[in-house]
Structures are given as structure tokens and as C-alpha cells.
Amino acid sequence: MNEGVEWALHSCLNLAWIGGERAVTAARLAAYHDLPAAYLNKQLQALVRAGVLVSVSGPKGGFRLARSLERITLMDVVTAIEGPDEAFRCTEIRAHGPSGGGDGKAPAVECAIAGAMGRAELAWRRELAARTLDDVRLQAERQAPGAPDRVRRWFAGT
Amino acid sequence: MNEGVEWALHSCLNLAWIGGERAVTAARLAAYHDLPAAYLNKQLQALVRAGVLVSVSGPKGGFRLARSLERITLMDVVTAIEGPDEAFRCTEIRAHGPSGGGDGKAPAVECAIAGAMGRAELAWRRELAARTLDDVRLQAERQAPGAPDRVRRWFAGT
């Protein structure tokens, strides 16, 4: 999985802690975790296209959350960064070579391998879709009670 | 996910249908689905290292199953091809830049983001580990009753 998923998730939490109204540049969000700004900017743009963030232009421009963390799931962020494709991509090798009927077409029935791999992936997606970024924020604040204040102070001072 | 996972799973089913004792070369296994033999060979070698296949040398050499399909899970094959790493790799960006304490060390408590992503991945791994290749074979034979005979006939004739 692209490391941008980790960066995107942390940046969403940071934006929530900073507060909803203020837009923050990719450069500042990147600086807080010492990340490459241009590459983080690419991930943030993907979150904008997915409707997770809003991009604000102008001198006070940057990024802010498009909706509250309760309405953003882990799945939203993973899909925004990784794309919608399944991790296991069935290329229907059943259709190729002597295993196929010679017409290059796969059998009409689903491949049992693709089915089993797909069910496992569904379990993963179901977990990601069931967890909102607000669940993650609550857990983060339980584990690191000083985090929100530290974020707020640092971004206020810059 | 590497397309080698799909190839490896189909090759294991084909080896089971061909019959346990006979070793089959990577070239023949590849030809059946019109796959690049050298690249399939790499995946089959990975399955040997994982104890899923046995490599037999000599003029009648090739690959055969190291154990019955009941004792090979989807997880075994995925791990053999993809490696044991988590799909989501936490790089502890909490430790970097102003977000860290300045000592480059991550907080001792688990990151809530890594925890949530890890739980979703566990759901996926649990599904993969609960499904044996024999479950998949049974399903494949229900969906394509002619497959075992077709495989056996083609490999017997070559």
C-alpha cells in the first residue's frame, strides 16, 4: 500500500485538531511530520477529488476537511489514495492457452480462485468502511492526550 | 497484489488435478495458461521456499505439491508470493518533525491509525487463513466440472 495512505490519515486528523475553518497548506502539513511537501500535495489533491478535503485558493489558501471526521471512513481515504481496484486482480488466465476453449474467452462461471480472494478482500473493506476517522481520533486522543494541543499550538505559531 | 498470486493458485490446483506424484516443469505449467515461463518459475520457486511445493531435479524434474490441498491455505500462497509484510506499513511519521519529541523516537503508545489499519488487515488475513486450496478446488469443480479432466488430459499428452 502506498505510504500516502498513512500521510493522508495523519493529515486529516491534524486538520480536525487545527479546526475546521482554517485552510492549511500542503507545505505546513508536510513540515509537521517532515514529509516531502510535493508528494504530500499529490495525496491531498487525491483527497480533494474524493470529496474528503476542500482545496481553498488564494493567499490564505490550502486544504481543509470537506466534512466532519464522523463522515469519513478509512475506506474513503484508502480508496482516494489507492484507487478503487481490488488488491487481487483476476486476469482470467483460465481463458488463455490450452486451458481456455481456444476462443480466448473465460468460462461464464466465476473463477473459484477469484471468488475466494474476493471474499477475503471484502472482509478487509468491510472493516475499513465500518471505521470512521472520528473513531480513530478518539482512540488517538485516549492514547496520546497531548496530541491535539501540540498540533493546535504548532500550526497556530506558523 | 502481484499477479503471481493468481498464477500460483491456478498452478497449485492444476498440480492437484494432474496428481500428486508426477513433477511438472514451470514451462508446461506456464504453457497451459499461456504465461511467461521464467516469471512463473520465480513464483513456483517462492512456493518451494514456503514449503508449498517441492522442486524435483533431473530429466523428469519439475514441481509437485509438498502437501495436500487441505493443508495449504490461501494465506500460505499469498505470503509466499507477496512476503510477510503488512499491506499498510506504519512508518511512524509521528516521530518526525515537530510532531515528534525532537528525539526522532515515536511515542511508546501504538499509533491509533496503525491500529485501525492493522485490525482491518487482520480481518483479511483471517479469511485467507480460513480457506484451504481444497475448499477452492471443490468450488472450482462445482462451477467447472470439466476442468480436472481437461487438465489431466492436456498434461498427460505433453
* B108/A contact by beta carbon, under 8 A: no
Query: Domains plus CATH for chain B?
Result: 3-156 (1.10.10.10)
pLDDT at B1: 84
Contact call for A6 and B89, based on CB within 8 A = yes
* A31/B contact by beta carbon, under 8 A: yes
pLDDT at B87: 86
* B153/A contact by beta carbon, under 8 A: no
How close does chain B come to A16, measured CA to CA in Å? Answer: 14
pLDDT at B11: 97
Burial class (CB in 10 A: 0-12, 13-18, 19+), A60: exposed
Chain A residue numbers with beta carbons less than 8 Å from the beta carbon of B131 are: 116, 119-120
Global pTM?
0.88
pLDDT at residue B102 greater than cutoff 70: no
Identify which of B13, B34, B99 has the shortest CB distance to residue A33. Answer: B99
C-alpha gyration radius of chain B: 20
* A82/B contact by beta carbon, under 8 A: no
Closest CA to A10 of B88, B8, B120: B88
**Given pLDDT bands bounded at 50, 70 and 90, which one contains residue B95?**
confident
**What average pLDDT does the segment B132-150 reach?**
95
Angle between the A133-143 and B112-130 helix axes, to the nearest 10 degrees?
A: 120
CA distance B44 to A108: 28
Identify which of B74, B91, B117 has the shortest CB distance to residue A117. Answer: B74
Chain B residue numbers with beta carbons less than 8 Å from the beta carbon of A11 are: none
Chain B residue numbers with beta carbons less than 8 Å from the beta carbon of A113 are: 6, 9-10, 13, 136, 140
pLDDT at residue B125 greater than cutoff 70: yes
* A17/B contact by beta carbon, under 8 A: no
Contact call for B96 and A35, based on CB within 8 A = yes
ipTM of this complex prediction, to 2 decimal places: 0.89
Number of helices (H) and strands (E) in chain B: give both, helices first.
7, 2
Q: pLDDT digit of tens for each residue in chain A (158 aa)?
A: 889 999 999 999 999 999 967 899 999 999 999 999 999 999 999 999 999 999 999 988 999 999 999 999 999 999 999 998 888 888 898 888 888 766 767 777 889 999 999 999 999 999 999 999 999 999 999 998 999 999 999 999 86
Percent of chain B with pLDDT over 70: 97
